[in-house]
């Protein structure tokens, strides 16, 4: 076996997103000599082109309704207008600030950063874009995922979530392809900013995998807000017209004229071009890096975490996996990440949040279940004369009274669910929820008043 001291680094990380940065920092803290390579910007999908800038757009879009509702609370609101360039630039400036913090974190932890494409050219050897070669005892693949474009003529005229934060002008007519969380989040954002939004989905439902009652409620509310949906409509052809607009042709439906087409049709693991297969790393059919419970690949000293493994495509999961990898390999403490009972949220208008089993999943897995719901109009909506209703749902195992799922749609649902997810993860019972005194007046109190 080669002496570890003969390598340039103990750990070389390819990809400086949330998972890679956490792994690098923790491994360095355990005494490892660490380097990381990133061909784009430090921070990865979440910080640069994902959850952070998107959540800031969500905040910005909420003011459209808040300004209207303010009048019912006694505020006199004058003429208002929205400036896309002002919000866009503020968001991008915040992204740059956060990128700097990530870079400083790596520097503070003595991690060497190579701002370059990197690929494997041998079992322990990495080549950078300029031809420089580096050796490492262990290699971590943390390159994340990349948006998928459908294979249809004219697809190049559409954009993905990577480019949406950089739009020069705000579009008046937007078509969003897809039915998942990215599609529904941007549908709400663009709609609140005043665009005419049409969501086109090749299947017959939105948000597959989420509780059916909750996603149906979002569909109803979205349609009431003016968002249009076309289901079972595959794309056939996209044409760019003389005035710069798009003519989008769908199978079995009338064409749609739009100023912007956003593809939100999923993300694929970004494993191509890294030289993985040449050194024996096994990949799944979709390009995901195959790993075991400790994030180890088919090659003993090569590991992978985050979206490139396609286990659970969520930033906190990538962070947890990166931390566990570093503790396992360099901290002398083997750690497995528990991928069950992970809380999830969709920052739609209103937001959705859920943890644990949906009603359908519980019935399939447990057989006998009890369902408790609260369908109510939040106090703020009542005074604002807004008819939008929240829906909270609890799924309980009838055999032992354990709460196995919580699902909700309504204002601040993600903020409320984070604490409630602890109870579900801990296996608490419906009786224990009932024994907890309500915090009144709040929306969250509905969780301990469910009948």
Spans of all domains in the chain: 4-147+268-329, 155-262, 350-448
Q: What class has domain 350-448? A: alpha beta
Topology given in CATH for the domain delimited by 4-147+268-329 = FAD/NAD(P)-binding domain (3.50.50)
Spatial distance between the Cα atoms of 188 and 147, rounded to a whole number of angstroms: 20
Residues 6+ apart with CB under 8 A from 373: 213, 391, 392, 393, 394, 450
CA Rg, the chain, in Å?
A: 24
Residues serving a catalytic function are 440
Domains 4-147+268-329 and 350-448 share a fold: no
Predicted TM-score (pTM) of this structure = 0.95
Q: pLDDT tens digits, the chain, 451 residues: what are they? A: 456 678 999 999 999 999 999 999 999 999 999 999 999 999 998 999 999 999 999 999 999 999 999 999 999 999 999 999 999 999 999 999 999 999 999 999 999 999 999 999 999 999 999 999 999 999 999 999 999 999 999 999 999 999 999 999 999 999 999 999 999 999 999 999 999 999 999 999 999 999 999 999 999 999 999 999 999 999 999 999 999 999 999 998 889 999 999 999 989 999 999 999 999 999 999 999 999 999 999 999 999 999 999 999 999 999 999 999 999 999 999 999 999 999 999 999 999 999 999 999 999 999 899 999 999 999 999 999 999 999 999 999 999 999 999 999 999 999 999 999 999 999 999 999 999 999 999 999 999 999 8
* Residue range 155-262, CATH number: 3.50.50.60
Cβ neighbourhood burial of 77 (10 Å; 0-12, 13-18, 19+): exposed
| CB contact at 8 A, 190 and 197 | yes
Q: Binding site membership: which residues? A: 55, 178-185, 266, 307
| CB contact at 8 A, 264 and 201 | no
Residues 6+ apart with CB under 8 A from 66: none
Q: Nearest-CA neighbor of 19 among 149, 183, 141?
A: 141
Q: Which residue has the tokens 């998942």?
A: 180
């Amino acid at each position: 076996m080669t002496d570890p001291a003969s390598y340039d680094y103990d750990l070389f990380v390819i990809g400086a997103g949330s998972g890679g940065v956490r792994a690098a920092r923790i491994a360095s803290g355990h005494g490892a000599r660490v380097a990381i390579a990133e061909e784009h910007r430090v921070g990865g999908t979440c910080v640069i082109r994902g959850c952070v800038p998107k959540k800031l757009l969500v905040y910005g879009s909420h003011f459209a309704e808040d300004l209207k509702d303010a009048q019912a609370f006694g505020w006199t609101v004058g003429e208002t207008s929205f400036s896309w360039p002002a919000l866009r630039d503020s968001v991008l400036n915040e992204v740059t600030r956060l990128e700097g913090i990530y870079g400083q974190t790596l520097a503070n932890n003595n991690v060497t950063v190579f701002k370059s494409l990197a690929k494997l050219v041998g079992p322990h050897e990495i080549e950078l874009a300029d031809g420089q070669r580096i050796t490492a005892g262990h290699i971590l693949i943390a390159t994340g995922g990349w948006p998928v474009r459908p294979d249809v003529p004219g697809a190049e005229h559409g954009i993905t979530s990577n480019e949406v934060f950089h739009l020069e002008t705000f579009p008046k007519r937007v078509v969003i392809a897809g039915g998942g969380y990215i599609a529904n989040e941007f549908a709400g954002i663009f709609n609140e900013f005043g665009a005419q939004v049409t969501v086109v989905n090749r299947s017959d439902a939105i948000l597959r995998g989420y509780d059916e009652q909750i996603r149906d409620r979002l569909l109803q509310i979205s349609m009431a807000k003016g968002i249009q949906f076309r289901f079972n409509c595959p794309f056939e052809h996209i044409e760019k017209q003389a005035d710069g607009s798009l003519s989008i042709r769908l199978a079995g439906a009338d064409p749609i004229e739009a100023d912007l087409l956003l593809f939100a049709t999923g993300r694929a693991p970004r494993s191509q071009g890294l030289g993985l297969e040449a050194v024996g790393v096994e990949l799944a059919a979709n390009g995901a890096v195959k790993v075991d419970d400790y994030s180890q690949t088919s090659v003993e000293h090569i590991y992978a975490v985050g979206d490139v493994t396609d286990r659970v495509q969520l930033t906190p999961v990538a962070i947890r996996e990166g931390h566990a990898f570093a503790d396992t390999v360099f901290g002398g403490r083997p750690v497995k990440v528990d991928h069950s009972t992970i809380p999830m949220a969709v920052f739609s208008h209103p937001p959705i949040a859920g943890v644990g089993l949906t009603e359908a999943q519980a019935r399939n897995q447990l057989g006998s279940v009890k369902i408790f719901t609260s369908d109510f109009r939040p106090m703020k909506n009542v005074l604002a004369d807004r008819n939008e209703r929240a829906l909270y749902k609890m799924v309980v195992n009838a055999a032992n009274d354990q709460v196995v799922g919580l699902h909700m749609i309504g204002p601040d649902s993600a903020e409320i669910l984070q604490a409630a997810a602890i109870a579900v993860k801990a296996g608490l019972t419906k009786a224990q929820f009932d024994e907890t005194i309500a915090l009144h007046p709040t929306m969250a109190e509905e969780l301990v008043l469910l009948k």
